[in-house]
Chains A and B, each alone.
Chain A
Amino acid sequence: MFQKFSRTSGVARAGAFAALAVSVALVATGCSAGTTQPGEGGEGGDANLSITFVPKNLGNAYFDTSDAGGAEAIEEFGGTYDEQAPAEGTPDGQVSFINTLTQQQVGGIALSANDPTALCDAINEARDAGVKVVTFDSDTSEDCRDLYINQATSEGIAKVQVDLIAEQIGDEGQIAILSATANATNQNAWIELMKEDLAANHPNIELVETVYGDDDDQTSFDKTEALLQTYPDLKGIVSPTTVGIAAAARYLQTSDFKGKVALTGLGTPNQMRDYVEDETVTAFALWNPADLGYLAAYATKALIEGTITGEEGDTFDAGKLGEYTVDAGGTVLLGDPYTFNAENIGEFDF
């Protein structure tokens, strides 16, 4: 009898233990639930200006920067900002969050899509329920979002890199390109445009070779070394890929070519900070993710308030960035790429 009793109480305690754990979890979160309901807080006037940013994943410095830009804009116009995303960048994780936001009846979602089509059904359910959906950074199919905020055009990206290298080498001499893989679609498109720009506007610059570092750090490093050995008169290298420019900068930093051979291209401030501060690299380009998030927030606001519908030619006000116009295919272009140099690199952390 005694034995039976103690056994029973042991199992009952297991149940109590589990129940306790569940209650603690729910009470802990239930308390905050009341205060962070985006659907309730954002009723500014008659429009529901609660806007939730759904980046590809959490803990990503690039999206932390873009979402902070969005938060700044939302605070300016008096909406409610929130950020929700899966821990890992998967489309199914984003679907759960989009479904949740639909139920919460937020005013708008600013989304960087993990897949161009997998999210469409969830997004369309949200839009049927009256939620405005704006994509930024990574687009979905055109028919399942209201607007896409495009960070840069191929022409813009090509032009800024040619301008930077021309300025750094005095508009004459030999240059080479260190690209990603030989069949990388984006890079090849940019390189073609760069060649056209060079031929048309910079006749004294000679592009001697395009090499491919395969977006691998070590390969890019080796290719940089090979370029400098093969072309002793080389004056500049353009690397339109973040892996390539960082590897090339690392090589230049410790070689005799530092300060003699110019390097520019597309890079991120955190990768390039060292090289800019010790003057291996004077300037490089990318877009500003904070502005991207800021613009996405204002575009969402304009959609929610009904000032625009996402048709080509619609114009809306985007706070400190000025006025923007919707282009064909429901896209809004952020503008020219942003140039990072020793003066402004300290302001960025991504």
Chain B
Amino acid sequence: MTESAITGTKTTVRTYKDYARPLWRRLIISREAAVIGGLILVLIVANSTVVNFGTPITFYYLLLDVLPILLIALPMTLIIITGEIDLSVASTMGLSSVVLGTLHQGGMPLELAALVALVVGAIAGAINGFLITVVGLPSLAVTIGTLALYRGLAVGLLGTTAVTEFTKSWKDFVKSKIGDTQIPTVILIFIVLAIAFAILLHFTPFGRGIFALGLNDEAAKFSGINVERTKFILFMLSGVISALAGIYYTLRFGTARGDNATGLELSVIAAVLLGGVSIFGGRGALHGVIAGVLLIGALGSALRLASITSDVINIITGTLLVLSVVSTSFLAWLHNKRTKPGGKKTLSQAAKS
């Protein structure tokens, strides 16, 4: 099909489908740009119609609220691009929260307890990675299992009690703002991690391996990518970042409980998919995901300020997500349908010219 086009027109050079358009058009007309556009639209509309939305304090709370989702969305994006999924992230958060609380209650300094919690997160991720890559089980089944397992461990360790005594300076740090602005300091941690993950995914051979894996892992294997190692590293990263989010969550709310962050994995996956990552793997970009997280967060914040009840907020964000996923599949189907006969048309038109 492409070859016939080449023979038909002198000016066309051989290109890959994804690179068929000039850079500026690829950047502006893309799924990621649509999400960013959606985010800007939400901000503008909310700013002009919702009282109290356009204040710096709104964005301060908004960022504090979505930070755990932002953090976990980074490794989750990479995992979903490989065609896998990690459902155990929120349970890992709960587990790290409980580990932090129990150790700190037992007299361990907060910094050391946090380090142990991160190690526990790494182990939790490594168990997922081991079962998926070495044993060869599907990630959906494995992480549903560890979702229950890690949550069970967390609740089992602390029971129904909660640890609420934490070093005040750390609790204050979590809620502190940069200088006189209303930007939370902790967002800097996210920015550093986001840059690191963006470089890893978009500018390293490892990152290109992730995309290749998601498109066709057999082909990726034969082109020299260590499939098992790549996936194992990603699941471990996911565990560590989830544990970090769990530590943040514990300090922000000043309470370590077994049921902390229950159900958060769904918010993360929803935001990642809204951000343009294909659930079938092989496609996605971090800037779209970050915009997706902020879009859901800003929409929720605006609707809460407009005194919309949480049930309605859930309905709206759910519908938005379904529409965004359905629209991609529907448009891809439409596109295929139009280009198949269209391919012949191009040929005949090319032949005429």
Contacts and interface: CB of A to CB of B under 8 A. Distances in A.
Interface of A: 1-4, 6-8, 10-15, 17-19, 21-23, 25-30, 32-34, 36-40, 58-59, 82-88, 90-93, 95-97, 99-100, 103-105, 115-118, 120-121
Contacts of B306: 29-30, 32-33, 36-37
A69 to B, nearest CB: 19
B313 to A, nearest CB: 8
Nearest to A99: B61
B307 A15 contact: no
B35 A18 contact: yes
B105 interface: no
Contacts of B308: 29, 32
Contact of B164 (A40, A84, A95, A117): A117
A14 B51 CA distance: 31
B249 A92 contact: yes
A15 B339 CA distance: 20
Contact of A37 (B51, B58, B263, B349): B51
A7 B21 CA distance: 10
Contacts of A97: 304, 310
A2 B45 CA distance: 36
Interface string B280-322: 0000000000000001000111111111111110101001100
A104 B310 contact: no
Interface of B: 5, 9, 20-21, 25, 29-31, 33-35, 37-38, 41-42, 45-46, 49-52, 55, 57-58, 61, 65, 162, 164, 175, 249, 253-255, 257, 259-263, 295, 299-312, 314, 316, 319-320, 323-324, 327-328, 331, 334-335, 338-339, 342-343, 345-346, 349
16 contacts: A14-B327, A14-B331, A17-B327, A32-B308, A33-B50, A33-B305, A37-B306, A82-B307, A87-B310, A88-B263, A99-B61, A103-B61, A104-B51, A115-B257, A118-B254, A120-B254
Contacts of B57: 103
B29 A12 contact: yes
Given A18-B324, A26-B302, A103 B55 contact: yes
A30 B301 CA distance: 13
A295 B346 CA distance: 76
B50 A22 contact: no
Contacts of B323: 17-18, 21
A269 to B, nearest CB: 25
Nearest to A39: B51
